[in-house]
Amino acid sequence: MCLRDRPPIADVDNGYVFAMGFSVDRNDDPQRAGVLRVGWLRRLSEDPQTPLSDDPLGKPYEFSAQRTQQAQKLRASPKSSLI
């Protein structure tokens, strides 16, 4: 079966949609956020005047703020010290 002949995958079952929500806080639901964001991207593609500030995820999530002390030390150490 050719890909174009396959039925569309529902957003709730779509891994790409799930990944679109990865930047939410660890206590939020990435699937729900991904569905919201993909909906916003669809609106944006239909109407380029849609404000970018309407992005349902708002500002990007700062993953480094959640790093353990060990991970922070590893990130800060020069690469040569890891060899």
User: Mind listing the pLDDT tens digit for each residue in 19-59?
Assistant: 998 888 878 899 999 999 999 999 999 998 988 888 888 87
Q: What is residue 36's predicted lDDT score, i.e. its pLDDT?
A: 93
Q: What is residue 58's predicted lDDT score, i.e. its pLDDT?
A: 82
Give the rounded percent of residues in the chain with a pLDDT score beyond 70.
Answer: 86
How far is the C-alpha of 67 from the C-alpha of 62, rounded, in Å?
10
Kindly list the domain boundaries of the chain, sorted by start residue.
3-82
For residues 38 and 20, the answer to whether their CB atoms sit within 8 Å is yes
